[in-house]
Structure 1
Amino acid sequence: MIRIRRPYRLAAEASAVLIALVVAFPLYWMVLSAFKPAGEVQSLHPKPWTLHPSLDSFRRVFWQEDFGRYFLNSLLVAGAVVVLSALAAFLAATAVTRFRFRFRTTVLIMFLVAQMVPVEALTIPLFFLMRDLGDAVPGVGLNTLGSLILVHLAFSLPFAVWMLRGFVQAVPESLEEAAMIDGASRARFLWQVLFPLVLPGLAATSIFSFISTWNDFLFAKSFIISATENSTLPMALLVFFKPDQNDWGGIMAGSTVMTLPVLVFFVLVQRRLVSGLAGAVKG
């Protein structure tokens, strides 16, 4: 039986390695192009290696005016979305799981339907919404970071609520009853017992929220029109797109710099992410 299964196992492992190489190749080419000198980047006969690595592309990226400000803006928007979406999704998932109320099923269906609408179809309506909302509520209109935080928060919540719902369901109600018998209030059980138990799920949802917000270009381009000081990091790459000839080395170097925070965030939450995804499937 072992000899029969071994060829299938080898084929599965080889397929996994092949798929991993295909997925990783664009990332490798991006980093390679960032370290290539300008002549090799613009060459008509590209090679998958370089014998003369250079940091000139990274120097052009870091010497760009307001690059640090763009980086901090992206970090602020992504961090705010991750924290706010995690807290709101935790409370919403607890409400739709632990309590019975009218239209509970309708609310869950609406969360699912919200994920089906293409982002491109909502960009123009959201533009007018942010324009009108800015007149009534300062700080969340066009040309503000608040508009980006609000929009990304709205798009992150449906997925987060659906994923956390499985984690909240996995916590037995008898645990809540035992906490109540010991004198714990509902709020104390919520934050001191339930919240730590669903923390892996929060880590899993947080990385998806962080990636989608950090890499956003469409909303940043649509909502930040004239206040360039509130632009985010993806907008900084536009400087390297020139009418006569694009600076592909700068583009690849900037993309590499943009990828680093995502990798760091993923490394920090990878253990909880794996257990979180497993819990979501189980739930």
Structure 2
Amino acid sequence: MSTQPTVGIQPATTDVVREEAGMVEGARRKSTRAKKRGLSGFLFKVIALVVFFCSAFPVYWMVNLSFTPNRDIVTRDKSFFPTDFTLNNYVTAWTREARPGQSDFQNSLLTTTTVTLSVLFVTILIAFAASIAIARFRFKGRYTFILSIIIIQMIPGEAMMFTLYGMIDDWQLMNTMLGLGIVYTASVVPFTVWMLRGFVTGVPADLEEAAMIDGCTRTQAFWKVTFPLLAPGLVSTGIFAFIQAWNEFTMALLLMSGKNLTLMPWLMSFTTSSVGGQVNWGAVMAGSVMISIPVVIFFLIVQGRMTGGLVSGAVKG
């Protein structure tokens, strides 16, 4: 009987086994990383919601109390929703007759709007020219000027109250919108220059050079190429200047009086001049809401220009 040679079955090679094991291990690691990312993402969402509610609740409570009768506000039993809805607080805040020599809401609104818009225009004009000079030109004392801007921002405004008061009084600009506008502009310009400088630096000068090669003059290249790309920076700094001038209280209280009071001191006088020593907190909350509405409207108008990807998109294109 002849013996047939047997052909052995070759086992799977070591490389194939290692490859399969590596694929399994890689899939396991990917699954673990995905779970960690999902858990961390969930935690970040929870933290974001907590921060949002902590920030939004005071605003909601202000609006809630503005629709609540004053007799219900002073009680210890508070409700998250106005059980006795009323608009009398807004009527009182809008039509309240001021004491002799004091401002009412309409006059304060006119004064605040005039000063704020004037400060906004002058601040943007000065800060824009200064930021272009700092970012595009090299001149003696440039770094000293930039450093001085930072140092000025570190000095609290209250430390210069009496100095500013003496200057405005010497210039005979006390209780005038011009005097208050000068003080607001001086306080807003340094940080606005610092903000705009970052936006101007982020726009490559090569874009202007390319436009000049295509036949534009330097002025045309700036206004047609660079200036549109700086729109988000101008909007951001404009919002900062608007909010700071609109919400300023200390200098307005120090420099203004009588019928020239701005809205913030007017709101304080609303509480101190209450009849019978009892503050109408419902009307105060209604006045606070009315003061906040112009800022919200201004932001809604300009927020469409606050897009951070305009510059990067132009460079990539």
Superposition RMSD in Å: 2.1
Q: Which amino acid aligns with 1:18?
A: V
* TM-score normalized by the length of structure 2: 0.80
Query: How far, CA to CA, are the matches of 2:217 and 2:117 in structure 1?
Result: 30
Q: State the distance in 2 between where 1:64 and 1:114 align.
A: 41
Is 2:65 aligned against 1:27? no
Q: CA deviation at 1:144?
A: 0.5
Q: Distance in 2 between matches of 1:151 and 1:194?
A: 31
With over 3 angstroms needed to count, the CA separation of the structure-2 counterparts of 1:187 and 1:34, relative to structure 1, is same
Change (3 A) 1:170 1:70: same
Between the aligned partners of 1:241 and 1:247, the Cα distance in structure 2 is 10
Pairing 1:267–2:300 present: yes
Q: Partner letter of residue 302 of structure 2?
A: V
Task: For residues 157-206 of structure 1, give each alpha carbon's deviation from its aligned partner in whole angstroms, at most 9, with x where no partner exists.
Answer: 11111111122112222222234445544444443432221110011111
1:240 aligns with 2:271: yes
The unaligned stretches of length 5 or more in structure 1 are 135-140
Gap change, CA 1:162 and 1:123, over 3 Å in 2 = same
Mapped to 1, the partners of 2:128 and 2:117 lie a distance apart of 17
Amino acid at match of 1:259: S
Amino acid aligned to 1:79: L
Q: 1:198: which partner in 2?
A: 230
C-alpha separation between the residues in 1 aligned to 2:107 and 2:218? 42
Give the conservation status (yes or no) of the 8 Å contact 2:195–2:237.
yes
- Which segment is superposed worse, 11-20 or 264-273? 264-273
SS in structure 2 at match of 1:52: coil
- Give, in angstroms, the shift of residue 235 of structure 1: 2.4
The answer on whether the counterparts of 1:201 and 1:272 sit within 8 Å (CA) in structure 2 is no
**Residue number among 178, 201, 212 corresponding to 1:169 in the alignment:** 201
SS at match of 1:46: coil
Q: Distance in 2 between matches of 1:110 and 1:235?
A: 31
Which range moved further: 9-18 or 79-88?
Answer: 79-88
Deviations 1:64-109 (A, max 9, x none): 3432121111111111111211111111000011111110000001
Larger radius of gyration: 2
Provide the TM-score with structure 1 as the length reference. 0.89
Give me the whole-angstrom Cα distance separating, in 2, the residues matched to 1:35 and 1:180. 60
Out of 23, 26, 46, the position equivalent to 2:78 is 46
Mean Cα displacement is larger for which, 107-116 or 62-71?
A: 62-71
**Counterparts in 2 of 1:60 and 1:41: CA distance versus 1, 3 Å:** same
Q: Where in structure 2 are the equivalents of 1:92-131 lying within 5 Å?
A: 92-131=130-169
8 Å Cα contact 1:207-1:266 kept in structure 2: yes
Using a 3 Å threshold, how does the CA distance of structure 1 residues 153 and 42 change in structure 2: closer, same or farther?
A: same
Alpha-carbon distance change, 132 to 53 in structure 1, aligned in 2, over 3 angstroms = same
Query: How many pairs align?
Result: 271
1:156 matches 2:194: no
Query: Which of 166, 170, 190 is equivalent to 1:132?
Result: 170
Judging changes above 3 Å, is the alpha-carbon distance between structure 1 residues 89 and 2 closer, same or farther for their aligned structure 2 residues? same
Deviations 1:24-63 (A, max 9, x none): 1110111111110111111123222221111111011110
Residue in structure 1 matched with residue 6 of structure 2 by the alignment: none
The 1-side partners of 2:229 and 2:144 are apart by 27
1:254 match: 287
The 1:189–1:81 alpha-carbon spacing in structure 2 relative to 1, beyond 3 Å, is: farther
1:231 is aligned to: 261
Is 1:214 aligned to 2:214, yes or no?
A: no
